[in-house]
Amino acid sequence: MPEYKDPREEDIVYGDRRISRPDNSLPDWEMPDTAYRPVPIVWFTGAFFLHLIVSAVLAIVVLSKSGTVWFALSALAAGGIAKWTWDRGMKDAGAGWKIATILMLAFNLLFVAAIAFSV
């Protein structure tokens, strides 16, 4: 009769890898203790698209007003989006992502200004 290892004390090995332990039934490449952690590019992209959409909606809403009103509202929106992005987790991101996010929002405002003040 073969001798079986106690699964509560030793791993069950198949070839050169630990496949699983019957007490938890997970292979060794599974990591059940991990959690989803969004990456800064998600926050960056979210801020970019949100500011793009908000600026377009503001342009339609204040179509009959002067370009200064649209620019001011877009700047306020950029500030709110920046705060929201920082609160989502950008404050813990690397300095490069923080700088890129600020520059991107400023660049979007540059486009708004170019359109608002050229009309």
pLDDT tens, 15-30? Answer: 555 555 554 555 556 6
Domain ranges in the chain are 1-34, 40-116
**CA separation for the pair 117, 119 (Å, rounded):** 6
**CA separation for the pair 23, 29 (Å, rounded):** 16
- Tell me the CA distances in angstroms from 83 to 5, 23, 30, 43, 76, one per residue in order: 56, 46, 36, 11, 11
Residue 8 — pLDDT band, cuts 50, 70, 90? low
DSSP bridge partners of 20: 12, 27
**CA separation for the pair 44, 60 (Å, rounded):** 25
Question: pTM to 2 decimals?
Answer: 0.66
